[in-house]
Chains A and B, each alone.
Chain A
């Protein structure tokens, strides 16, 4: 299964064998859930959301300021 991961404007093509949730993906990259908002195919999703084949997952860091 393949999906695209976008973190800090960097696109990564990901290949996985087992099913993952958003929480698993963030854990792999050592990103705390409390510090990000995640979009799947343009819509905000919760950490329990499953990643499916062809998905575009965008991780938006919660930036201080503004």
Chain B
């Protein structure tokens, strides 16, 4: 078996969805080119953008940082990293160590924020109080609140996240199965809003196993542990089903993504109302309701005293 591109015998990956066999060098180049091509195709970044990578130290965000550093080395963009410590035992501490090491090695400035400082509570403490919702709900909403707020303060034009193809397809299937059809209109390569910093997903068309292979092939230092709260999540169940389906249907992730792109346009016409963003009455962040989602969740767990949250305004 030879590399489809250069004929080398040292093939490291077989892309079943395209039939390609690739050696290490051709795989790295091909993956980087695909990501940079998608950035151009979906107009995710423009020259002189100040891009903040939401960096956890895991494989996906480290790959985004590594590939975007190609653009910053060519002085096309200004690149920095933003890391959020949600307070998940040793797991997050270890991830931050990896993230900081990568930033030092690449010479990229890193900004670190924490749930403890912003909300005076960690995810571990929230979950110890037996709340009504799952950890991923609190974690995702509160992390996005910090990212939105701090990215704006830092003057960023874009926040780049590590969402890969598997993440996107899982989100499409999850939202469909749970009947959250309005959410399907919000899934895409970029999330634009006048009041928030635009979020972009450069790895959206890269399968998760290829992101793993990329960090291995490049010898990037990443945190490969699984979040302890992920083990029981609905997303994990959907991910396991999709992995099983891919065995006999190798193109299923791409076909689901393309199918979603087609129906999204129709759904937008049917469902998407121009929601008017105003300021959350407690924290001042943009929100479609009086209380933003983060303040609503903090209220549910009895953490919405003025001194905790509104001082961050």
A interface vs B, CB < 8 Å?
32-37, 39, 43-48, 60, 62-66
Residues of B within 8 A of A48 (CB): 1, 14
Q: Specify the main secondary structure of chain B where it touches its partner.
A: helix
**Is the pair B59, A34 in contact by a Cβ cutoff of 8 Å?**
no
The verdict on B267 contacting chain A, using a C-beta distance below 8 Å, is no
How many residues of chain B have a CB within 8 Å of chain A?
Answer: 39
- Of A34, A45, A47, A64, which one neighbours B226 at CB under 8 angstroms? A64
- Of B57, B223, B239, B244, which one neighbours A64 at CB under 8 angstroms? B239
- Given A45-B12, A46-B11: A62 and B212 within 8 A (CB)? yes
Residue of B with least CB distance to A58: B216
- Given A64-B235, A66-B60, A66-B162: A39 and B1 within 8 A (CB)? no
- Of B10, B12, B223, which one neighbours A66 at CB under 8 angstroms? B223
Given A46-B1, A46-B21, A66-B95, 16 other A-B contacts at CB below 8 A?
Answer: A34-B243, A34-B246, A35-B209, A35-B243, A43-B10, A44-B12, A44-B24, A44-B216, A45-B12, A46-B11, A63-B59, A63-B212, A64-B227, A66-B58, A66-B61, A66-B62
The verdict on B13 contacting chain A, using a C-beta distance below 8 Å, is yes
Residue of B with least CB distance to A66: B58
The verdict on B230 contacting chain A, using a C-beta distance below 8 Å, is yes
Binary contact readout B242-275 vs A (1 if CB under 8 angstroms, 0 otherwise): 0110110000000000000000000000000000
**Is the pair B247, A32 in contact by a Cβ cutoff of 8 Å?**
yes
**Is the pair A66, B24 in contact by a Cβ cutoff of 8 Å?**
no
**Is the pair A37, B212 in contact by a Cβ cutoff of 8 Å?**
yes
- Given A37-B212, A66-B223: A43 and B12 within 8 A (CB)? yes
